[in-house]
Amino acid sequence: MLGAVDPHRAERVSANIKEELDELIGYEMSDPRVGNATVTEVLISPNFRLAIVRLALEGTVEERAATLEAISHAKQFLRHQLAERLQLFHTPDLQFEADLPAELGAKAEQILKRIKRGRPKPEKNPIS
């Protein structure tokens, strides 16, 4: 069975990439622009060519933007390090994006639940 694909492979690769990137970004990058960033999630494409990396960033808006820019700038370094550490046949291209802050994530969950139940947000001053 040459064409068979392990259904859990994407999960394992994603978890390994998350673990390695979290260590690389948190402890091994020397760029002073990189603030406190934690890898929260890695989404990998079915063909393993692209990995979307979500980061929890701390600090002011400017500090978060600088951190994201610095990490994006170091994409080739990070990809090379992943290739050495994980020994994958093909190391996916990395795309970094900021994750929603916790308070916005909780609010988004509430909004999605209301939409699913078919209840819009009540208006404060309904027109009679």
pLDDT in tens, 47-84: 889 999 999 988 888 888 899 999 999 999 999 999 99
User: Under the phi-then-psi rule, with left for phi > 0, alpha for psi from -120 to 50, and beta for the rest, what region is 77?
Assistant: alpha
Domain with residue 58: its CATH number is 3.30.300.20
Say if residues 95 and 52 touch (Cβ distance below 8 Å). yes
CA count, 13 A, side-chain hemisphere, 97: 8
* pTM beyond 0.75: no
Q: Show the domain range for 38.
A: 9-117
Please compute the mean of the pLDDT values over residues 22-43 and round it to a whole number. 89
| Residue 2 covered by a domain | no
| Residue 82 covered by a domain | yes
| Residue 4 covered by a domain | no
What is the number of structural domains in the chain? Answer: 1
Residue 102 has pLDDT above 60, yes or no: no
| Residue 48 covered by a domain | yes
If you average pLDDT over every residue of the chain, what do you get?
Answer: 83
| Residue 96 covered by a domain | yes
Q: How many CB atoms neighbour CB 13 within 10 A?
A: 18
